[in-house]
Amino acid sequence: MFYKCDRYDVKGKSALKTGEKYYATDVGMRYNLFGKKNVDRGHILENIVYLELLRRGYAVYIGKVGDNEIDFVTIGEYGEEYYQVAYSTMDDKTLERELKSLDMIKDHNPKYLLTMDKDPIISYNGIKKINVLAWLLNEEN
């Protein structure tokens, strides 16, 4: 019913033994368990992205860089990629918070910020902000 997602130290390039998260195998189960009260769209969106990353064949981890968390570190055929997921980053403080952990990573692997915002693809210091629906449909290029 749930996938366990381990934590990954970006600097040390290794899985950590604590701090894992769990994601539902079916987002609809969430409604069954919790009802429609206190719906957190950001967490639901994060769960959907997690399931899609698994479907695309990645090994998926929760990233840790310093004291900051990265929603997902993926390891696939072409190396590592980093993902932050936020429902919206139209507020400058939210955008700054979501970019901060990705900005702390000093390697040159791809970094993505996935949101429901309808902006065109924007790059912030090499971090691509993409509409999550376009990403899910592989229409982001």
73-108 tens-digit pLDDT: 999 999 999 999 999 999 999 999 999 999 999 889
Number of structural domains, the chain?
1
Range of the domain at 85: 2-136
In the chain, the amino acid numbered 32 is N
Length of the chain counted residue by residue: 141
Token pair for 27: 């987002």
43, part of any domain: yes
Tens-digit pLDDT profile for residues 3-36: 788 777 776 565 656 677 887 787 777 667 766 6
Question: How far apart are alpha carbons 119 and 86 in whole angstroms?
Answer: 14
Structural domain contains residue 125: yes
Q: Considering the domain boundaries, does residue 141 fall inside one?
A: no
Rounded Cα distance between 77 and 75, Å, is 7
pTM metric for this prediction: 0.86
